[in-house]
Amino acid sequence: MSRDSAHNAARRGAESQRPSGAVARAGRRALLVVEDERHLADGLRFNLEAEGYQVQVAETGEEALEAFAGGAPSFDAMVLDVMLPGKDGFTVISELRQAGQFIPTLILTARGHPDDVLKGFAAGADDYLTKPFDLAILIARIRGLLRRSEWVRSEAKAPLPQRPKDRFTFADKTVDFNLLELRVKDHVFPLTLMEMNVLRYLIQHESETVSRKKMLEQVWGLHEDTDTRAIDNFIVRLRRYLEDDPARPRHLLTVRGLGYRFVANPVKTD
């Protein structure tokens, strides 16, 4: 698809979306948009600002990484194009995750590259849209990302006595849903929002087999034809954190042909 069709889609979306801007304005959340196509970036900035967001645009991967250099997180979410000059979106997200930066991130992938979605999730992305996209859908997805992180933040900020202990302990591991952490013995693994959401969903359905499709619908709110292998990347990542031997999982089991099952207390077989 041409640049113009993406841009026009953004413009069309703007016309239908703008009136709702006042609702979002209260929050004034900050977004980093990483997009090298200037007129698409300008269109996104214009429309997202109309929705009440503060928007900063980076045109290259290097520029995006620079925006995070210096410590304190200054953005609430990031929209990240994959195809960028220099460092591409996959490199940007994996470098940020390695540096301990867990900003909620939605990647923009080119249609016709389904593997990009899987690569993006493997690199640490939380959500994705294919280009050209509908602006209304992008805004809904950004809201979804922010809502989930907002919730985490408000829980963490709440005064201690009122703060519900949102933890789950199994075997020698503790998941802290507020802090987005998994503790295994003395080790603390920080989790991305999506890793935590996947884990939470599986824990909530302990001992049940849940299908990949169900998880994509319930965790991401995706109803379209998404490649369900996307979920496998999250399972692989989670197994690395919480299985003693990720190749022989005892908690996050694959149910062949059906999906996955979380088992808190597996029966010892050896």
Q: Which residue is nearest to Ca ion (CB)?
A: 83
81 binds Ca ion (CB under 5 A): yes
- Which residue stretch of 12-20, 79-87, 245-253, 262-270 sits at the interface with Ca ion (rule: CB under 5 A)? 79-87
36 binds Ca ion (CB under 5 A): yes
195 binds Ca ion (CB under 5 A): no
222 binds Ca ion (CB under 5 A): no
Smallest separation, CB 130 to Ca ion (Å): 13
- Which residue, 105 or 192, is less far from Ca ion as judged by CB? 105
Where does residue 21 rank: exposed (0-12), middle (13-18), buried (19+ CB within 10 A)? middle
- CA distance linking residue 107 with residue 126, whole number of Å: 8
φ and ψ of 57, to 5 deg: -110, 135
- Which residue stretch of 36-44, 160-168, 177-185, 255-263 sits at the interface with Ca ion (rule: CB under 5 A)? 36-44
The β-bridge relationship of strands 105-110 and 127-131 is parallel
- CA distance linking residue 230 with residue 121, whole number of Å: 7
For residue 94, give the nearest of 199, 219, 237 by alpha carbon: 237
Among 30, 50, 67, 83, indicate the residue that binds Ca ion (CB under 5 A).
Answer: 83
Q: What is the DSSP letter of 269?
A: -
- Which residue, 60 or 211, is less far from Ca ion as judged by CB? 60
Site for Ca ion in 94-133 (CB under 5 A): none
Alpha-carbon separation of residue 68 from 20, 97, 102, 164, 253 (angstroms): 30, 11, 11, 31, 36
How is residue 25 written in tokens?
């304005």
| Sheet containing 54-58, strands listed edge to edge, beginning at the edge strand earlier in sequence | 54-58, 30-34, 77-81, 105-110, 127-131
- Which residue, 83 or 236, is less far from Ca ion as judged by CB? 83
How many Cα neighbours within 13 Å face the side chain of 130?
Answer: 15
Site for Ca ion in 143-172 (CB under 5 A): none
- The residues, any chain, with a CB within 8 Å of residue 267's CB and separated by 6 or more, are none
Smallest separation, CB 88 to Ca ion (Å): 9
Count of residues that bind Ca ion according to CB under 5 A: 3
- Which residue, 83 or 179, is less far from Ca ion as judged by CB? 83
Which single residue is written with the structure tokens 């690199």? Answer: 123
Smallest separation, CB 82 to Ca ion (Å): 7
Smallest separation, CB 11 to Ca ion (Å): 18
Site for Ca ion in 239-258 (CB under 5 A): none
- Which residue, 109 or 233, is less far from Ca ion as judged by CB? 109
How is residue 149 written in tokens?
């992180």
59 binds Ca ion (CB under 5 A): no
Query: Cis before residue 132, ω within 30 degrees of 0?
Result: yes
Site for Ca ion, rule CB under 5 A: 36, 81, 83
